Amino acid sequence: MAILKLTDVHISYGNIKAVKGINLEINKGEIVTLIGSNGAGKTTTMNTITGLLKPFKGKIEFKGRDITGKNTSEIVKLGISLAPEGRQVFPRMTVIENLELGGYTRTKSQIIETLGEVFDLFPRLRERKYQEAGTLSGGEQQMLAIGRAMMARPELLLLDEPSMGLAPIIVELVLKAIKKINKLGTTILLVEQNARMALMTADRGYLLETGKIVMAANADILLHSDKIIKAYLGENKED
Amino acid sequence: MHKLQIQGLTKRFGGLTAVNNIDLHMDDNEIIGLIGPNGAGKTTLFNMITGMYIPTSGKLFYQGQDITGIKPYKITDIGIARTFQNIRLFLMMTVLENVLIGLHTRTNTNLFDAITKNKRYRNEEKTSHKRAIEILEMVGLKERKDEYSKNLSYGEQRKLEIARAMASNPGILLLDEPAAGMNDNETAELTRFIKTLKNFGLTVLLIEHDMRLVMNICERIYVFDHGSKIAEGSPKEIQKNQQVIEAYLGKGA
Amino acid sequence: MLFQQLINGLTLGSTYALTAVGYSMVFGILGLVNFSHGSVYTVGAFLTLIFFTALKFNFFVSFLLSIILTGLLGILIDRISLYPLRKRNAPKVTSLISTIGVSIFLQNLIMITWGSETKKFPLVINRGSINLFGANISTLQIMIFSMCIVLMVSLNIMIQKTRVGKAMRATAQNSKAAMLMGININAIIMITFFMGSSLASVAGTMVGMYYQTIDPYIGYMAGLKAFAAAVLGGIGVLPGAIVGGLSIGVIEAIAAGYLNAGYRDAIAFAVLVLMLIVKPSGLLGKQASKKV
Amino acid sequence: MIILFISFMTLIPFLGFSPYIMRIMILSGIYIILALSLNLLTGFTGIVCLGHAAFYGIGAYTSALLAIHFDLSFVFTAIAGGVVAAFFGLLLGLPTLRLNGTYLSMVTLGFCEIVRLVGLNWMSLTRGPMGLTGIPFPKILGWVIDRDAEYFYLVLILIIMTWVILNNLIQSRAGIALIAIREDEVAAEAMGINILKYKVLAFAISAFFAGIAGSFYAHYASFINPQSFTFDESIQILSMVILGGMGSNLGVALGAIVLVSVPEMLRGLQEYRMLIYGAVLVIMMLTRPQGILGNPKALKIPRNN
Amino acid sequence: TSAPKQGKDEEIKIAVVGPMTGDSAQYGQSFKRATELMASKVNEAGGVNGSPIKLEIVDDKNDAKEATNVAQKLVSDEKIVGVIGHFSSTASLAAAPIYQRAQLVELSPTSSHPEFTKQGTYMFRNVNTQAIEGPILADFAVNDLKKKKIAVIYVNDDWGITAKDNFIEAAEELGATITAEEAFIGGQTRDFAPTITKIKGTNPDLIFLAAMYSETGMIAQQLEQLNYDVDLLGTSSLNNDQLIKLAGAAVDGLYLTNNYFPGNPDEKVQEFIEDYKEAYGVEPDQFAAVAYDSLGMMIEALKTSGPDRVKLRDSLVDIKDYNGVTGKTTFNENRDVMKDMIIMQIKEGKFTLYR
Ligand SMILES: Nc1ncnc2c1ncn2[C@@H]1O[C@H](COP(=O)(O)OP(=O)(O)OP(=O)(O)O)[C@@H](O)[C@H]1O
Ligand SMILES: Nc1ncnc2c1ncn2[C@@H]1O[C@H](COP(=O)(O)OP(=O)(O)OP(=O)(O)O)[C@@H](O)[C@H]1O
Ligand SMILES: [Mg+2]
Ligand SMILES: [Mg+2]
């Protein structure tokens, strides 16, 4: 059953139409990736799912419930969590306070439990527990943003370019973690610039181009599609 | 005499040593890579070079001139330009205006010229405008020149930042993760672009986590970990360096 | 005499401090200076007076009713004059002018409904006083001062330790991210306005009792001074508001007592300017760490 | 277009408006200069100045005192008023090296109060609350300005001067530098912009024109006292800028006209007047948060913050 | 100049200007109420030579700039033959040149600034200047109360400064010493504890207050809170029941000068108080009384001059011994008034005649 379903969703910024009628479905337990070049509308779509933006047309359903136009806080309480583009940490709060806020909708003991898991995944964050988030390095902030989204233990986790700014060794770690939490029952929607990596992690993928979905298929099919190879993977074959 | 020379540079934040006794140098027309795990101190080094942080100890020389502790705006004037890891565009200004600001240090009409709009002023206006358009063309943003920069997508904003930094016609260009937020194709395009910069005679210091980009274009690479330099050498050497693999590259690379 | 002047200054300062806390809270969350705060303070004082003298309620009932109604007024002000602007992402200064409009409106509304003449504010607390080192300290002075300290401590605990407090700080630092945490920022903003405004009512009532008179213009200078106090202490930092308020009160008392009463406000502002130049983020404010 | 407009303006005194209307127009003119000058500071540089009335007052007092005691020509006293105000602007600009945002606004507010209170208490210079009376009519090259039409032309000339100078300034590299500072100081500095220099410059130029407006006012009203240069006055000028649309010179000029005229139109309402005025202010902000001529696009969400 | 042609029952317009809003609005309200009372009385009795009086109440917020705007507006309205106002000397002074140019009478019930009537030939006032009141107060303090050490608290505006200067000059001439001279800013200062503490340190026998009633009330109460018992002396501006309502026992014993006394058994005065109370539910204050008389005099003058601006001025100058609620009034050659003054004292919550 589809846990998330977007039907003919249109999103615009004033008169700039960023997303022009997309249909998208994610089934429970899947990892789905959304790929596309700069400005295709990936972030716009993610922000709309979490209610930060309101679509001017179309319908968004989560677990069969219509959540179109609902407030972000309500949507989050229903079980969707986003690690946003550009990290958006709380700059003058410590690392641990940031993480605790990630679990705002949960109880204290639940928070403490998940906190341990996040720290195990990113030992650097444990080291910097009491550092103000605004003074963390770029990559450290990215770890914090991912960790904070995990703190909510959402049913659907949205990750907008989680690998951005992370060292290769950490990227590997994050991908592993994504697979792991997915196994534990979290559905994941992943936006990635690194299409190869995303498709290797995901079960299914959508290709977004200038606000429209142009391809939707299983990940390995996309990975071998000529169009994708040429436009997104091309070039790098040599190494 | 090196174009840029760094001697024993250190930066502490309270008890944390973010950059620890670093020596580093760059020569004319080199493209140098700077890599290392998250929080290794790479951005902090940039901040010291550009005068945004005052080093705890150590010295910086640009073309033999001591530039330690000089104000950021003077550093730019001297010839070092940068981009930011967290994009910092002038969001409420158009793409073109952003680049015009980049030209600030390379223009010199004074208030009197501006108020009277004299010939000198009008000539300079024309040349700056032309130059700005040229630069935008190079990064492929010419079509969007009148768009507010906040309306660009993440990737486009990155390109604009590079364009803006290039506008000051720097002796050294410091790029902090320029490929972050770009897909493989765009990264490839960026790779070509940075290579052309070299042909224009620019010297580039590049922080990047995208190894394909780094290995492709850098002549030499410095590797930091926990604020210290752990390796230095050609891409080939670095890729094989066991310490670097363990701390940074991981087995996937 | 110096000791007496210090006492005078601390009491005056406490009244600024109580008002400053409200400024500081709203600023802390929304990053905007709510210039209607001074008028809200006046409304608070008048409501207590009206309930007490015209409707003959018990004083504490009157006080409580005023606190609640003034709190609700705060929410109303936000809903009418700020919320629509926030929704449209208008620049912060726009909200500033909007709150100034509200302030002018409220002040004149008070004047029309209750008249512009100065009114007697009954002294409910026994006027007993103690003599300490030759200085005269009244019960009321002690009460105002302790109120200030209690509020400072409890509010600080609330902001730092409770869930609501954390949500408030999160909203202040990044409202978009706060929403993503599941925080209902509209509710948080309402709570903030309610608390800030009811504190203004507490301050207004206390000051009314202390001076035993009120008029529709009490909020004007009090508002300015409280704003100054909040900034001096480090705006958004609640203990800072208290420290700032007390400092300005003491400076004024000393200036009036030893220098020239005509210049007392000028001296207070001059010291404020100098202190800010020395410590640009206020006495207790932390210099925003500049990571680039 | 512009020429048409200006020639229309020159005709106004011949259209037989009552002295009262002429007075309102001349006052609007003064506020247009004030709003334009504040726009440089607030609209372009992003400094919310709560003390503009202080510069206005300093200009007024300087010019009035020079005229009363030395009987100098308006050209000289006005420039002197501007220069003295600019000097204080420069002083106030210096703390911007360390101060920002609300803290800086507070300093400007404090400055405004200090100037007013000094004006109120320095009896020997300013005659304190009694104010300066008998400020002579403006004299320019022997020509005495004492009729409404003449005042109207004088203020018109001052507006045009202010407008042209500020407009050219804003379009120049200095102007873009100011906007860049408003948008992101760190990035602006990385572009080679000397932040302190430009902020001080903005303060000084802004204060200069406010000082000129002040000196015109002093000679026009022939009576000034510290009451005319309060914090409320600063707020009034700031409201004009914001209502008109920060960063739009035409907008803030309109803002000035509106905020001078509205209270006049409401005068018949007696005690309800200010009540309505407050409400009007809120409603105007709500209907056009970006200001009358501000750019509506300025309201969209910045992507990264 | 010829008077505009006017029929018998065409109304005569008189403007009443004062602070209807702003922090002095209560004084403007007194103007408004008193003049409306007078106007309706006159109109009921058939108006001035058959023409009804029409008042135009205008707000100047007690602000100099607003005052000039108002003045300009009023002079443009040809129907207006005279102006009662403005309230403060500051506003009156600022507006004076405009009235003078337009030859419109500006009769201020309250402006006591010495310069005011020197601004031109159309300025009148219906209040003793401080040059007259100051010496009376000083004489009373030194010779009657036998107080030699006097502290002064004054409001830092034109009125307060002239009041305290005139008082101090006269008092020092009579051999008194001034122990302290402390200013406060009207409508702004509410906290007097530091000032009182300072004055207490100089140990005076009497404090002279050049202040309005609202601040006087606060000063008296704060004196009491600080347990400081000292004699107080104030000016006629304190003659307002509100003072007693506000400060109660704290102002008991306070002396003040006056020319309007509600306890005056004179029929005229009692009738005025009755009518005022009936119309507005409050007792008239000093400001109401002088405004009432000011309009009364203007109407008296209009009876001979007719609705003509210039003639009105000339006939106002000629008014002799107008018998109003504030006593007998005559304008001197400077268009200032000289009114007799009485001394009152507040006793057990009442204004009582002291001398
Ligand atoms: N606040 C905004 N106002 C106006 N236009 C916007 C805004 N945000 C995004 N856009 C435009 O909407 C389109 C989609 O942007 P979006 O950020 O969703 O792209 P994206 O796929 O996430 O790109 P990237 O990979 O670069 O992050 C782009 O053309 C962008 O310029
Ligand atoms: N202003 C500061 N205060 C405290 N700590 C800081 C500050 N700036 C940086 N740091 C710390 O210094 C270390 C180095 O940070 P820096 O930003 O230089 O890392 P980086 O190498 O650029 O990492 P990344 O690849 O993640 O961007 C980090 O651990 C960071 O938390
Ligand atoms: Mg994106
Ligand atoms: Mg970095």
Residue D139 CB-half CA count within 13 A = 12
Q: How far apart are the first and last CA of chain B?
A: 36
Q: Length of chain C, please? A: 292
For residue range D145-189, list pLDDT tens digits in order: 777 888 899 999 999 999 999 988 988 888 889 999 988 899 999
Residue C227 contacts D, CB cutoff 8 Å: yes
Tell me whether residue D72 is in a domain. Answer: yes
Residues 6+ apart with CB under 8 A from B244: B223, B230, B231, B238
Convert the pLDDT of each residue in A113-128 to its tens digit.
999 999 998 999 999 9
- For residue D273, being part of any structural domain is answered with no
Helix (H, G, I), strand (E, B) or coil at E109: coil
Size of interface A-D (CB pairs under 8 A): 5
Q: Which of B44, B83, B223 to mutate to test the pocket of ligand 2 (most atoms within 8 A of CB)?
A: B44
- pLDDT, one tens digit per residue, over D81-120 is 999 999 999 999 998 878 888 889 889 999 999 999 999 8
**pLDDT in the model for residue E41:** 93
Which range of B114-118, C88-92, D14-18, E146-150 scores highest in mean pLDDT? It is E146-150
Taking residues A66-84, report their average pLDDT.
Answer: 93
pTM, full prediction: 0.86
Does B touch E (3+ CB pairs < 8 Å)? no
> What residues form DSSP beta bridges with A7?
A59
Confirm or reject contact between E189 and chain D (CB < 8 A).
no
CB of C289 within 8 Å of a chain D CB? The answer is: no
Q: What is the pLDDT of residue D299?
A: 45
Cβ–Cβ < 8 Å for C19, C41? yes
Residue A41 located in a structural domain: yes
On whether residue A160 sits in a domain, the answer given is: yes
pLDDT at D301: 39
Q: In the prediction, which pLDDT does D65 show?
A: 94
pLDDT of residue A72: 94
Whether D168 and B114 have beta carbons less than 8 Å apart is answered as yes
Residue A8 maps to a domain: no
Which bound ligand lies closest to the C-alpha atom of A136?
A: 2
Minimal C-alpha gap between E180 and chain D (Å): 16
Nearest to E90 among D19, D20, D227 (CB): D227
Helical H segments across D71-194, by residue range: 74-93, 101-121, 123-126, 148-171, 173-183, 185-190
Torsion sign across C-alpha atoms B20, B23, B25, B31:
negative
pLDDT of A130 higher than 80: yes
Please state, in angstroms and as integers, the Cα–Cα distance from residue A111 to each residue in A97, A101, E173, following that order: 11, 9, 83
Q: Do C166 and A81 touch (CB under 8 A)?
A: no
* Sequence-separated contacts (24+) of E316-325 with Cβ below 8 Å: E316/E105, E316/E107, E316/E124, E322/E293, E322/E296, E322/E297, E323/E268, E324/E268, E324/E289, E324/E292, E324/E293, E324/E296, E324/E297, E325/E260, E325/E266, E325/E268, E325/E269, E325/E272, E325/E289, E325/E292, E325/E293
CA of D83 to the centre of ligand 1 (A): 48
pLDDT (tens digit per residue) in B85-114:
888 999 888 999 999 999 988 887 777 777
Average pLDDT over residues A206-211: 92
Q: Per-residue pLDDT tens for B206-229?
A: 999 998 899 989 999 999 999 999
CB contact under 8 A, B109 and D172: yes
Q: Point out the ligand 2 atom lying closest to the alpha carbon of residue B224.
A: 21
d(CA E133, CA E112) in angstroms, rounded, equals 10
Higher pLDDT, B182 or D211: D211
Tokens of residue B251, six digits = 């087995």
Q: Could you tell me the distance, in angstroms and rounded to a whole number, from the CA of residue A18 to the centre of ligand 1?
A: 7
Question: Ligand 4 center to residue A138 CA distance, Å?
Answer: 5
pLDDT tens digit sequence for C149-200: 888 888 888 888 888 888 988 998 888 999 999 999 999 999 999 998 998 8
**Residue A138: nearest ligand to its CA?**
2
Q: Do E68 and D133 touch (CB under 8 A)?
A: no
Q: What is the pLDDT of residue D303?
A: 39
| Distance from the D280 Cα atom to the nearest Cα atom in chain A, whole angstroms | 28
Mean predicted confidence (pLDDT) in B54-81: 93
**Could you tell me if E188 lies within 8 Å of chain D, comparing CB atoms?**
no
For residue C126, being part of any structural domain is answered with: no
Ligand 1 mean position, distance from CA C66 (Å): 49
For residue B184, the distance in angstroms to the closest alpha carbon of chain A comes to 6
For D23, the closest of E61, E69, E160 (CB atoms) is E69
**Subunits in contact with chain D (3 or more CB pairs closer than 8 Å):** A, B, C, E
Query: Per the omega criterion (within 30 degrees of 0), is the bond before D52 cis?
Result: no
Neighbours of E320 (CB within 10 A): 8
Alpha helices in A95-163 (DSSP H): 95-102, 108-121, 123-127, 138-151
Strands annotated E in chain D: 139-140, 143-144
Asked: is B86-169 a CATH 3.40.50.300 domain? The reply is: yes
Query: pLDDT tens, A146-175?
Result: 999 999 999 999 999 999 889 998 898 889
- Give how many domains chain D has, as a whole number: 1
Contacts with B, D 175-214, CB within 8 Å: 175-177, 179-180, 182-184, 186-195, 201
Q: In chain B, where does the domain assigned CATH 3.40.50.300 lie?
A: 1-79+174-253, 86-169
Task: Measure the CA–CA gap between E110 and E118, rounded to whole angstroms.
Answer: 15
What pLDDT shows up at residue D305?
33
Task: Provide the residue range defining the domain that includes D64.
Answer: 22-232
Would you state the pLDDT for residue E3? 44
* Domain tally, chain C: 1
Rounded-to-integer distance, Cα E355 and Cα E352, Å? 9
**For residue C217, pLDDT beyond 90:** no
Residue with tokens 């001096």: C232
Mean pLDDT of the residues in chain D: 87
Which residues in chain A have Cβ-Cβ distances shorter than 8 Å to C281? Answer: none
Nearest to E105 by CA among E84, E77, E87: E84
Six-digit token pair at A76? 């989050």
Considering the domain boundaries, does residue A178 fall inside one?
yes
Using DSSP bridges, classify how beta strands B80-82 and B65-66 pair: parallel, antiparallel or unpaired.
Answer: unpaired
pLDDT score recorded for residue A75: 94
B208 and B194 in contact (C-beta within 8 Å)?
Answer: no
| DSSP state letter for B168 | T
Residues with CB under 6 A from ligand 2: A 131, 135-140, 165; B 13, 16, 18, 36, 38-44, 85; C 289, 291
pLDDT digits (tens, 9 = 90+) for D16-44: 777 788 888 999 999 999 999 999 999 89
Residues B45, B47, B50, B52, Cα dihedral to 10°: -140
Q: Does domain B1-79+174-253 have CATH number 2.30.40.10?
A: no
**Of the spans B6-10, D231-235, E158-162, which averages the highest pLDDT?**
B6-10
Tell me how close the Cα of E145 comes to any Cα of chain D, in angstroms. 32
- What SS3 class is residue E105? strand
Q: From the CB of A207, is ligand 1 less than 6 Å away?
A: no
* Residue C46 lies inside a defined structural domain of this protein: yes
pLDDT band at B153 (very low <50, low <70, confident <90, very high): confident
Lowest mean pLDDT among B115-124, C68-77, D173-182: B115-124
pLDDT in tens, chain E (355 residues): 444 444 556 889 999 999 988 778 888 999 999 999 999 999 999 889 889 999 999 998 888 878 888 898 898 888 999 999 899 888 898 899 889 988 999 999 998 888 889 889 999 999 888 888 899 999 999 999 999 999 999 998 878 888 999 999 999 999 999 999 999 988 888 889 899 999 998 999 999 999 988 899 999 988 988 888 899 999 988 888 888 888 888 899 999 988 888 888 888 899 999 999 999 999 898 899 999 999 999 999 999 998 999 999 999 999 888 988 988 888 888 899 888 788 889 988 888 888 7
Residue C246's pLDDT band, with cuts at 50, 70 and 90, is: very high
Residue C251 binned pLDDT confidence (cut-offs 50, 70, 90): very high
Confidence of residue B252 (pLDDT cuts 50, 70, 90): low
Q: Mean pLDDT across the stretch B194-199?
A: 86
Residue C129 has pLDDT above 80, yes or no: no
Average pLDDT over residues C226-234: 89
Domain that holds residue C88: 2-121+135-278
| Tally of domains in chain A | 1
